[in-house]
Amino acid sequence: MTRFYVRGIRGATTVKKNKAGDILEATAKLLRTIVEENNLKIEDIASVIFTVTPDLNAEFPATAARELLGWKYVPLICGQEINVPDRAKKCIRVLVHVNTDRAQDEIKHVYQNEALQLREDLL
């Protein structure tokens, strides 16, 4: 019997400017890569939590999932990251909860652009 678990997939990216188009494009690229790298189907995705640094407020990253990727039935929520001095700026973070039979060490986390520095240990 196959056992399924809810696993978390982390990811992050950055944008150069606080513009809606930049936020949507970067978020969509990040989510597409997470889906591809982990061989996911939309129905595998249980929910997604997005956070952004306080310097990003031009658009909700969840809009990219809903409008650009068609994740109509996936529960999505956005929040603001803690404003820690000297940390990543203009950063979009994501935690994708998926139903999978994979072990934790088989999950592929995705970091792009300036966010590569956040988890170099996973690259």
Residues with a catalytic annotation lie at 10, 66, 78, 81, 93, 111, 119
- 15-34 burial string, b = 16+ CB within 10 Å, else e? beeeeeebbbebbbbbbebb
